[in-house]
Amino acid sequence: MMNAWRWWWGILLAFSLLALARAVVPLPFVIEVLIFSIYTMGCNFLLGRVGFISFGQPAYLAAGAYGTAFYLFYFGTNPYIGILAGIVSGLAVAGIVGPLFVRLRSDYFALVNLALAVIMYYLMQKVLAGITRGDNGLWFLTRLSSTPVLDISRPGQFFIFALLVALAVWVLYKYLDDSIYGACCLATKINEDKLEFIGYSNYKVRLAAFLIANTTTALAGAMYAVYLGFVSPEITSPHRAPDPVVVTILGGTGTLYGPIVGAIAYTGMKDVISKMIGNWELFIGFLLVFIMLAGEKGIWGTLQPRLEKLLSARKARTAAGEVAEARR
Amino acid sequence: MDAQLLIPGVIFGLSIGAIFFLMAIGLSLCFGLMRIISLDQLLYYSIGAYLTYTVSLATGSVWLGMLAGVAVAGVASLVVERVVFLRIYERELTFSMITSFGILIGGIGVIKYFWGVVPRPVAIPTLTQVDIAGTEVPVYRLMVIGIAAVVYAGIWVFLNGTIIGKAIGAGIENVEHVEGLGINVSRLFTITFVIAGTLSGLAGGLHAPLIMVDPQMGLEVLAFVFMVVIIGGLGSIKGTLVSAFIVGQVVSLGSLVYAPLAQMAPFAIMLLILLIKPTGLYGSALLKR
C-alpha cells in the first residue's frame, strides 16, 4: 500500500494541480499544456530512454492530425472515432518508415527524420493539395457531433478528456520505464553490444520504442485536431521541428515529470513573450543555445535532486525525533 | 521528351545541384572532421543571400554583393564557432545538432528583425543567353556550375596539396593521431568551420538571383541539402559531389515530368539508398567515435 502510494503521489499531485489550475488559469492554456506534454512525452522517451534524437516529430504529429481531419471532414462526425483514426494513421506512418529508420545510426536518424518532416510539409501543402486544401487547411469544428458520456466537442469537457488521456499516457510511460522493456531501451542507448550479447534484438527494441513514441505523438496531433477543429500544413512546418526537443531538454531529458514541467514552462513563456515581442523565433533559438550551453539537465533535472535532498533531510529529522521520543 | 526541354532541364539541374553541393560540402566537412552536424550552415546561406540583396541594391553590382555576402558569412561562422561550437566539440553529436538548430532559428529571427518578412528579388547579373545545340540557355546558370566546379577543384587541391588540408584529411581519418603529431586541432576545426560557412554563404549569394530571398529560405533548401548529404554519406567530399548531381537532376528532370512529385522523388531515392546502404553511397561505417 505504502509502495503504491509512493509510486503514485507525484503524478497525482501533478495532475490534481493541473486540474486545480483550471480554476485559476485560462482554459486554452491548460489544454495546450496538456496536449503539449503528451506530444513531448513521445520525444522524451525516444531521446531520454532510447537515445534517438528525433527532429521529425512534427511529421508524426501531422500524421495524427491529418488522420483525424480526413475522417472528420470527409466521413464521420464522431470525434472519438476521429482520434482513433488519427492514432491508426500515425501508427501506419511510423510503421512504414520505422523499420527503415531505426537501422540507421543516430546521426543519420536525426537527419532523415527532419527530412521526413519537411517532406510531410510539402506533401500536405502542395502534392495532396486537392485533398488537404493546401494552406487553407481543413475546417471541421461545426461538423463535430456531441458524444454521450464526455462531450469533447466542448472545451470544458475536452479539458477533462485531455487530463485523463495525459494521465493514461504518463502511466503507460511510467510502466514502460519500470518494466524489463524499459531496461532494454536504456541498454540499447548505453551499450548495444552487451544487449545483443544477452540475447535481445536491438532492432526490435528500437522499433517498438519508435512505434510507441510516434503513436503517442500522433495521439497528440489527433487531439490538437479535435480541440482546434482545424488542421493546416503549418502543424508540420520545419520551424516547429525543434519544439518537442526544446521542451524535452527544457524539462529534463529522460525524467518522468520533465515533459509536464517543460510544457508548462514553454507554453507559459511563449504566451508571455509573444505578447511582449513579436519576434518569437529569435527568443526560442537563443534560449535553446543557452539551455544547451548552461546545463543540459533542464528544469526538472535540476530540481529533482534538490527536492529529494529536502525530503530526505526532513525524513531524517523526523526519524531523529522519533528516536529521541523513544529514548525518553 | 525533346531536346528543347531536355537541355535546359539538365542545365537547370546542374546549377541547382551545384548550389546544393556548395552547401552540403560544409555540412559534410564539419561532420567528417569535428563530428558535429552544423545546421547553422543554412543560416550562413541566408546571410549570404541577404547581403547579396542589400549590397547589390546599394552598389548596383550583384558580384560585389556576393563577395560581401561570402565575407560576412565567413565572419559570422567564425564568431559562432568561437563563441558556441568551441564548447560543444567534446559533447555528443546530437548536442551539436540541437544547438545549431537553435542558432539557425535565432538567426532567422535576427534576419526578420533587419529585413522583415517580405520576400525580396535580386537582379540576375547577366541576362545573356547562349546557344547550345539549338536551345537558348541562360549564361548565369552556366556560371554557377563553373563556380561550383572551381570550388570542387579548389577543395581538392587544398585537401591534397597544402599542409593544413592534409592535416584536415588526416583528421577525418583519426583526429587523435593528428593531435598526437603536435598539430593544433582546435585551429584546424576553426579553419574547417569557416571554410564551410564561407561556402554556404557563396551558395546563398549564387542562389539569390535565381529565387526570391526570404527569411525562411534556409529552411526551404534544408530538406534537399540533407538528402544530398545523406545520399552521399556524411564526411565524404566525393559522395557529396555525386549525390548533389543526382538530386539536382532528379529535381529538375522530375519537375518536367510531374511538378509536385519533383520534391518527393529525391526523398524516395534517399530511402532506397538507405535501404541498400545505411551509411550512404560513400560514407564509411567506421565513422563512429
Parse chain B into domains and list their residue ranges.
3-219
Is B93–A122 a contact, with Cβ atoms under 8 angstroms apart?
no
pLDDT tens digit sequence for B128-153: 777 777 777 788 888 888 998 999 89
Total domains in chain A come to 1
**Contact A205/A176 with Cβ under 8 angstroms?**
no
Q: What is the pLDDT of residues B84-105, one digit of tens each?
A: 888 887 777 777 877 888 888 8
Inter-residue contact B234 to A107 (CB < 8 Å): yes
Q: What is the pLDDT of residue A84?
A: 86
Mean pLDDT of chain B: 82
Place of cell 515533459: A259
CA B111 – CA A38 distance, rounded (Å): 33
> To the nearest whole percent, how much of chain A has pLDDT over 70?
87
Q: What mean pLDDT is predicted for residues A227-252?
A: 78
Give the rounded percent of residues in chain B with a pLDDT score beyond 90: 3
pLDDT value of position A135: 74
Q: What is the pTM of this model?
A: 0.79
Mapped onto helix, strand or coil, the DSSP state of residue A231 is: strand
* Chain B residues inside the 8 Å CB shell of A292: 88, 95, 98-99, 102
Extract the C-alpha cell encoding B191: 579553419
Q: What is the pLDDT of residues A299-326, one digit of tens each?
A: 777 777 777 777 777 767 666 666 666 6
C-alpha cell at B273: 539508398
Strands (E), B113-204: 129-132, 135-138
Q: What is the percent of chain A where pLDDT is above 90?
A: 0
Which residues from A are below 8 Å from B229, CB to CB?
111
Given this model, what pLDDT does residue A6 score? 60
CA–CA distance, B254 with B252 (Å, rounded to integer): 5
Neighbouring CB atoms inside 10 A of A16's CB total 11
Contact of B262 with B255, CB cutoff 8 Å = yes
For residue B235, the one-letter residue type is G
- What are the grid coordinates assigned to B129, written together? 543567353
Residue A138's SS3 state is: strand
pLDDT reported for residue A227: 84
Closest CB to B98 among A115, A245, A281: A245
Q: Which residue has the higher pLDDT, A228 or A9?
A: A228
Q: Is the pLDDT of residue B287 over 50?
A: no
pLDDT at A1: 46
Specify whether the CB–CB gap between A106 and A239 falls below 8 A.
no
Query: How big, in percent rounded to 5, are the helix, strand and coil portions of chain A?
Result: 80, 0, 15
User: CB A109: neighbour CB atoms within 10 A?
Assistant: 23
pLDDT tier at B289, thresholds 50, 70, 90: very low
**Residue A236 confidence (pLDDT) above 80:** no
pLDDT of B284 > 70? The answer is no
Compute the Cα dihedral for B58, B59, B60, B65 and give only its sign: negative
> How many other C-beta atoms lie within 10 A of the C-beta of residue A232?
21
- Say which amino acid occupies A3: N
- The rounded distance, in Å, linking the Cα atoms of A171 and A305 is 22
Torsional sign, CA A200, A201, A206, A207: negative
| Helices and strands: H and E segment counts in chain A | 14, 2
pLDDT band of A181, cuts 50, 70, 90: confident
What is the average pLDDT across A193-200? Answer: 81
pLDDT band at A327 (very low <50, low <70, confident <90, very high): low
Cα–Cα distance measured from residue A218 to residue A220, given in angstroms and rounded to the nearest whole number: 5
Overall average pLDDT of the B258-270 stretch: 75
ipTM of this predicted structure:
0.70
Chain B CB contacts of A55 below 8 Å = 97, 101
Contact criterion met (CB below 8 Å) for B21 and B240: yes
How close, in Å, is residue A54 to chain B by CA atoms? 9
Whose CA is closest to A219, among A11, A27, A17, A41? A41
- Specify the amino acid at residue B288: K
Assigned domain for A311 exists:
no
Is the confidence at residue A223, as pLDDT, over 80? yes
DSSP-H helix ranges across chain B: 3-34, 41-59, 62-83, 93-115, 139-161, 163-173, 175-180, 185-207, 217-232, 237-257, 265-276
CA atoms within 13 Å, Cβ hemisphere of B77: 34
Q: Is A150 helix (H, G, I), strand (E, B) or coil?
A: coil
Which of A 101-120 lie inside 8 A of B, CB atoms? 103-108, 110-112, 114-116, 118-119
The contact set of B with A (CB < 8 A) is: 31, 37, 84, 87-88, 93-95, 97-99, 101-110, 112-113, 216, 219, 222-223, 226-227, 229-230, 234, 260-261, 263-264, 267, 270-271, 274-275, 278-280, 288
- Does a structural domain hold residue A259? no
pLDDT, position A278: 66
Q: Which three cell numbers stand for residue A40?
A: 513531448
Residues of A in contact with B97 (CB under 8 A): 53, 55, 107, 110
Residue type for position A197: F
To the nearest 10°, report the CA torsion of A225, A227, A228, A229: 70
pLDDT reading at B106 higher than 80: yes
Per the domain annotation, does A248 fall within a domain?
Answer: no
In this prediction, residue B28 carries a pLDDT of 84
Distance of CA B184 to the CA centre of its chain: 26
Among A125-139, A264-278, B174-188, the range with the most confident prediction by mean pLDDT is B174-188
- Quote the CA–CA distance of B109 and B244 in Å, as a whole number: 29
Give the cell for residue A267: 507554453
Owning domain of residue A226? 21-238
Amino acid at A274: S
Mean pLDDT of B230-247: 84
Examine the pLDDT at B1 and tell me if it is beyond 60. Answer: no
Res A97 pLDDT > 50: yes
A33, pLDDT greater than 60 = yes
The predicted pLDDT at position A226 comes to 84
Instruction: For chain B, count helices (H), then strands (E).
Output: 11, 2
C-alpha to C-alpha distances, A228 to A231, A260, B264, nearest whole angstrom:
8, 21, 29
pLDDT at B288: 45
For residue A192, count CB atoms less than 10 angstroms from its CB and return exposed for 0-12, middle for 13-18, buried for 19 or more: middle
Residue B11 has pLDDT above 50, yes or no: yes
CA dihedral (B29, B30, B31, B35) positive or negative: positive
Query: What backbone torsions phi and psi does residue B134 show, to the nearest 5 degrees?
Result: 85, 5
Q: Identify whether A209 is part of a domain.
A: yes
Give the whole-angstrom CA distance, residue A57 versus residue A211: 12
Give, as one character, the DSSP assignment of residue A9. H
- Lowest-pLDDT range of A94-98, A149-153, A262-266, B208-212: A149-153
Is the pLDDT at A180 greater than 60, yes or no?
A: yes
